[in-house]
Structure 1
Amino acid sequence: MTVDSGYADIFGPQVPRTGDEGQTATFALASAAYRDNPVADIKKADNEWHQTTVNEGRKWATIFRPNLGEAFAGAVVARMLGPGRKPLIQSFGTEPQAVVEHALAANNIRRARDNRLSMIMVLCGLLFLPGLVVWLLVFQLRSLIDKRTQTNKRAGAIATTLLVAVGAVAVIFLVKMPFAGFWSWYARACVILPVVGWLWAKQVCENTAKDLRGRWDSLLSGSSVGAKVPEAVPTSPGETQAEQLRQSLAKLSAEQQSNSIFYAGPKGILGMGTRWGSWQLAEDLIARDADREIHPFRSWDVIRNIHDDLRMLERNTINTGGFPKASVRHWIVTPVGEGAKAVSRPDGTDVEAYQVKSHAIQDICNKQQFGSGERHYLGVQWTLWEGQLVITMMITVTVLHKTLRIEITGHALGPVNSLFTGKPEAPTKDVQKTLKPWETRKVKLPLVPADEVVRLAVRAPITWYPPLLNWLGGSIALPEPFGLRHAWADQPWRHRFMADDALRAATPVLRVVHAAAIRVLDENGVDTEKFGNRSSFLSTNVQDASPRKADLYDA
């Protein structure tokens, strides 16, 4: 199976081609892997249907808690590449493989930093454990006091005073050493070496933070910074781990191209957004000539003609721009419960590389129109606003007894939450001017604060075993069934032009579908007068289209 994913076809990890469009949503999601926001900020991106769970870990181990980038990158890699993972929902309008590769690259950058910090911890910390424990207790106490800053303005000053006081006690301890001989020098080292290690670690953390923030900013600026994932390129037949990673990335790309999707009640079709509109044309099949019978035809014959006409949507009568080229595909829709936490893709001899084969699609289209089982839909989809808006119109044709029904439904997936589109800002603080206390000025703060250096240094030695780190500091649980795009998508109706685009697409699609279907009926001897009248009524009605929650039946 050939997959055109918008990436250069090279051996090993794929990278975006220079100049590709429609990557805004992809790069916005990928930038989350490089961020240093508090992990709780991920809750701000939740929407009505999908909620991210933040597991806070042990209350006494707050120093081990991850930031947003660490938690996001770890959770995405584990969920999308982990062994035995559950099926994923397609991420329309984005390239999930690119997001995963950036998460892997961010993990590599942090792993290199943690290796250096682990060495510093051994040389300046574990060898002088008594001093390290005392300094950690001081920083932990300072951190607890500092958290009260928002409710008690004096708490910040108290926390700083505590650190200064302990520093003064340490100096006095060095001068008035109560020990002699070897232990006096070891005690001095226990006081000094953890501080030296902290200064060394601060330089390492600063350099890494600049790298991560640079990539974060570059992704949102459109410079298409590449994700370096050398471990995904096997260099010898014996590198099984690299080969497994390469196969996992290929599997992810193949699943993204699957023609199997899932309908979850009020949540709509997962990955396509909620259903905002529905139009139905249903009339009896009556022979045009009383002395002749209708020529036999199938639902697939109608769908095939609709498919051919929809491919011509980008052609305009007048040169006014009009529709860009749309993706027209046959979909197999599987129903799942509204609260389902997992989905199961079709399998068997009729499925290959996550694709339901053509003959199986035709059978479902012609036979599975009533009762349990999958259903067939023909979809026409546009990815607009550089991937921030995905418009999908779904068409299904059913024949029950002598009634032919053509149903057209509209789905719209809005932009990714603004949490993912914010660029990095240098940390600053407002302070009063010396000679003009009624005025304030901004003062730049260190990119990596003192407490953050301590947190990273303490976490570093146990990052090699993520389960322990997650148990201590916590993690995030991604919303299930999981797909990168729909999990953090906003409604498009708050954006005037996006809403207009979604509403405007309905009328032309409806008219093309009806015209193609009526032509097939006419060719097969069906009296199309009632179909034409009903089509005209719907064509008039759709011009006053307004978004609504079409899947919430008031019954």
Structure 2
Amino acid sequence: MTKLDMTPGAQIPRTDVGPQTAVTQLLSSAAYRDTELKALTDLEGVKAKEGKFALFRPSVGEAFSRAVIDRTLRPKRLPLVPSFGTDTRMVVEHCLAAEELRHARDRKLTLVTLLSGVLFLPGALLWLVAFQGRAYFKKHNPAREGFYGTLLLLAVAGLALLLALRPPVHGLWALYFRVMMLAPVAGWFFAKRICLRSTEDLRARWGGLVEGSALAATVPKAVPRDDLDQRATELRASLERLTAEQETNIQHYAGSKGILGAGMRWGVWEVVEDLRPAEGHADFRAFHPWDLTRRITDRLGSLGQSEVAGGAMPHVSVQQWVVVDIPEGADEIGRPAGAEMDGYRMRDFAIQAIANRQSLGTDTRHRLAAQFVLHKGQLVASVLINVTVLSNTLRVSVAGYALGPLAGLFGTKPKPKEINVPKTGKFWEERTVQLPLVDNDEVVRQAVRAPFMHLPTLLMWLGGSVTLPEPFSLRAAWADRTWTSRFKSDDVIYGATPVVNAVLAATIEFLEEHDINVERFTSRAGILRAEMQGVRAFRADKYDAG
């Protein structure tokens, strides 16, 4: 269990999450990134909402943290799709921790801005106009950004020099005009040092998470200081609600997208035969589909054991799911409510009732799921079993689903900022020049955003934001194709084979106990096993009429 240190400002340590560590850390690293926002908007389903001023634009980490926090912790929000193979709460805690680090930086920057900017507002505004112009050209005309941006800065610098040497007024106002344009420059010097220390800290956390270090998220805002600390109590409740929601047993099937959060269906194996009494019996013993499902469930529970050393299947999770059919283009999901639900989970008696009822013509079905989280969460392989009886025909269906690794963006490490320029005297050759980790534009960007740190909606209006793909699953939203990795695709196929064998063995054993002729079922099972000798992945939900 997760232990909570109730001292003020304490960390919320997280225990090792086993097979899903890598993906959780890679997703968490996005909260600390300082790269341009385009890297995030290039991801599948992420859309950028333009702001009013390019100077207030967010970085990847700022936009990602705010979007994830808003989507997961708001009191009134749409349901989330489960993120298999991921500790969603840990990712959200890292987003909160990254925001707290930036707020600590912004408090210092705000003080610098007040002293060097607000007190000398006319001069500060002139400098901001120049940097806003540079940001505009960088976005809309990158080829001319260097020329026009430099021209704007030179013009303002010339004006600053002119006012310092020959102010247009006399007396105390003359002194004000002399320093009006120079004070923001002094403020920039102190702001740059603050920004540099913050960027180095954030980048160290980014790199550490990508490399696999066990970096804990420090979330002091989630630890109540006393009984009256309502905000911290509400944040803790939201995090606990998020954890409970991820344990739901209600899943959604969205057409060719497959089961949301589990990936697309890549293979199907079925045994379909009539139920006939065994030889010497006038009739067979009646049973419910749930009875056979329970027998298969018990058999699947032994997959984690093997008589051969090292032959046990790793990280097997066997669960009873209720799958709801929704349109492929649906942008939200829903869950049942009422006495049959216990929080986010459907109660056992309700699941059993769905498994036993005639499912033909319904949009809610029961599935027995065997799930494997492999490659430290980079691969989630799910095998779903369905038992149905129509008239006296038994159908046992096994379907494989696969969720691939994360998009490449989340695995990138922090790199030094460099540029290649022609060599002096040898223009046909290039040399690498190291750029400052925090340049002038970045210092100004962070400084102008700092005073609005506690007004996130206003900051998003000023600089822009991103919207996440819906229905939103933190793990599945940016999963890459499984079949681009040879070992991962092999593991998907290999993992399905013992599940199918266990289902067939449990089915035949159960039918024999109920005085049912298993000769045809045994024959079908043999054919199915023969087909699996050369199984190849295909898109089972891609129905081609040709």
- Scaled by the length of structure 1, the TM-score of the pair is 0.94
Q: How does 1:344-423 map to 2 (within 5 A)?
A: 344-423=334-413
Is this contact kept in 2: 1:44–1:419, CA < 8 A? no
Q: Does 1:54 align with 2:48?
A: yes
C-alpha deviation, 1:528, in angstroms: 0.7
Query: Secondary structure of 1:332's partner?
Result: strand
Which stretch of the first structure deviates more once superposed, 159-168 or 491-500?
Answer: 159-168
Letter in 1 for 2:391: H
Q: Which residue of 1 aligns with 2:272?
A: 282
Give structure 1 stretches of 5+ with no counterpart. none
Query: For residues 183 and 469 of structure 1, what CA distance do their matches in structure 2 show?
Result: 34
Q: Does 1:459 align with 2:449?
A: yes
Q: Does 1:84 align with 2:64?
A: no
Match of 1:527 among 517, 523, 526: 517
Query: For residues 461 and 175 of structure 2, what CA distance do their matches in structure 1 show?
Result: 38
Q: Which residue of 2 aligns with 1:16?
A: 14
C-alpha deviation, 1:189, in angstroms: 2.1
Which stretch of the first structure deviates more once superposed, 367-376 or 304-313?
Answer: 367-376
Query: For residues 477 and 143 of structure 1, what CA distance do their matches in structure 2 show?
Result: 22
Query: Secondary structure of 1:439's partner?
Result: strand
Match of 1:120 among 88, 112, 120: 112
Deviation by residue 1:63-107 (Cα, 9 ceiling, x = unmatched): 111111111000100110011111111110010000000000011
Q: 1:36 to 1:338 in 2, by over 3 A?
A: same
Is this contact kept in 2: 1:368–1:374, CA < 8 A? no
Is this contact kept in 1: 2:18–2:376, CA < 8 A? no
Q: Does 1:31 align with 2:21?
A: no
Q: How does 1:262-277 map to 2 (within 5 A)?
A: 262-277=252-267
Q: Does 1:130 align with 2:130?
A: no
Q: Percent identity?
A: 43
Q: 1:342 to 1:149 in 2, by over 3 A?
A: closer
Query: Secondary structure of 2:498's partner?
Result: helix
Query: Secondary structure of 1:23's partner?
Result: helix
C-alpha deviation, 1:444, in angstroms: 1.8
Which stretch of the first structure deviates more once superposed, 167-176 or 403-412?
Answer: 167-176
C-alpha deviation, 1:22, in angstroms: 3.0
Q: Which residue of 1 aligns with 2:218?
A: 228
C-alpha deviation, 1:463, in angstroms: 2.7
Q: Which residue of 2 aligns with 1:442?
A: 432
Deviation by residue 1:128-184 (Cα, 9 ceiling, x = unmatched): 1111111111222233344577535xx424533542353234223311222210111
Deviation by residue 1:483-510 (Cα, 9 ceiling, x = unmatched): 1000010011000000000011222211
C-alpha deviation, 1:431, in angstroms: 3.0
Which stretch of the first structure deviates more once superposed, 328-337 or 11-20?
Answer: 11-20
Q: Does 1:301 align with 2:299?
A: no
Q: Which residue of 1 aligns with 2:188?
A: 198
Q: Which residue of 2 aligns with 1:93?
A: 85
Query: For residues 341 and 296 of structure 1, what CA distance do their matches in structure 2 show?
Result: 43
Match of 2:163 among 173, 191, 195: 173
Query: For residues 225 and 135 of structure 2, what CA distance do their matches in structure 1 show?
Result: 46
Q: Which residue of 2 aligns with 1:310?
A: 300
Letter in 2 for 1:45: L
Q: 1:145 to 1:362 in 2, by over 3 A?
A: closer
Is this contact kept in 2: 1:24–1:387, CA < 8 A? yes
Is this contact kept in 2: 1:506–1:542, CA < 8 A? no
Would you say how many aligned residue pairs link Structure 1 and Structure 2? 542
Deviation by residue 1:347-400 (Cα, 9 ceiling, x = unmatched): 211211312111111111111422224211111111000110001000010011
Q: Which residue of 2 aligns with 1:259?
A: 249
Q: Does 1:106 align with 2:104?
A: no
Is this contact kept in 2: 1:121–1:197, CA < 8 A? yes
Letter in 2 for 1:44: D
Is this contact kept in 2: 1:52–1:479, CA < 8 A? yes
Letter in 1 for 2:369: G
Query: For residues 42 and 31 of structure 2, what CA distance do their matches in structure 1 show?
Result: 16
Is this contact kept in 1: 2:385–2:398, CA < 8 A? yes
Q: 1:72 to 1:354 in 2, by over 3 A?
A: same
C-alpha deviation, 1:415, in angstroms: 0.6
Is this contact kept in 2: 1:128–1:190, CA < 8 A? yes
Letter in 1 for 2:50: E
Is this contact kept in 1: 2:354–2:366, CA < 8 A? yes
Is this contact kept in 2: 1:414–1:490, CA < 8 A? yes
Letter in 1 for 2:67: A
Q: 1:42 to 1:300 in 2, by over 3 A?
A: same
Q: Which residue of 2 aligns with 1:339?
A: 329
Q: Which residue of 2 aligns with 1:65?
A: 57
Deviation by residue 1:447-471 (Cα, 9 ceiling, x = unmatched): 1111111111112222321222212
Letter in 2 for 1:173: L
C-alpha deviation, 1:257, in angstroms: 1.1
Match of 1:211 among 201, 205, 208: 201
Is this contact kept in 2: 1:45–1:418, CA < 8 A? no
Query: For residues 232 and 254 of structure 2, what CA distance do their matches in structure 1 show?
Result: 36
Letter in 2 for 1:126: V
Query: For residues 11 and 323 of structure 2, what CA distance do their matches in structure 1 show?
Result: 31
Is this contact kept in 1: 2:82–2:246, CA < 8 A? yes
Deviation by residue 1:28-77 (Cα, 9 ceiling, x = unmatched): 0011111111112123331xxxx11111123xx11111111111000100
Is this contact kept in 1: 2:315–2:373, CA < 8 A? no
Query: Secondary structure of 1:111's partner?
Result: helix
Which stretch of the first structure deviates more once superposed, 493-502 or 339-348?
Answer: 339-348
Query: Secondary structure of 1:347's partner?
Result: coil
Is this contact kept in 2: 1:507–1:543, CA < 8 A? no
Is this contact kept in 2: 1:428–1:442, CA < 8 A? yes
Letter in 2 for 1:34: Y
Q: 1:409 to 1:433 in 2, by over 3 A?
A: same
Letter in 2 for 1:37: T
Letter in 2 for 1:82: R
- Scaled by the length of structure 2, the TM-score of the pair is 0.95
C-alpha deviation, 1:550, in angstroms: 0.9
Is this contact kept in 1: 2:112–2:191, CA < 8 A? yes
Match of 1:156 among 140, 143, 146: 146
Is this contact kept in 2: 1:369–1:399, CA < 8 A? no
Query: For residues 145 and 482 of structure 1, what CA distance do their matches in structure 2 show?
Result: 34
Letter in 1 for 2:46: T
- Root-mean-square deviation over aligned CA pairs: 1.9
Query: For residues 315 and 21 of structure 2, what CA distance do their matches in structure 1 show?
Result: 17
Query: Secondary structure of 2:20's partner?
Result: coil
Query: For residues 367 and 13 of structure 1, what CA distance do their matches in structure 2 show?
Result: 49
C-alpha deviation, 1:441, in angstroms: 2.6
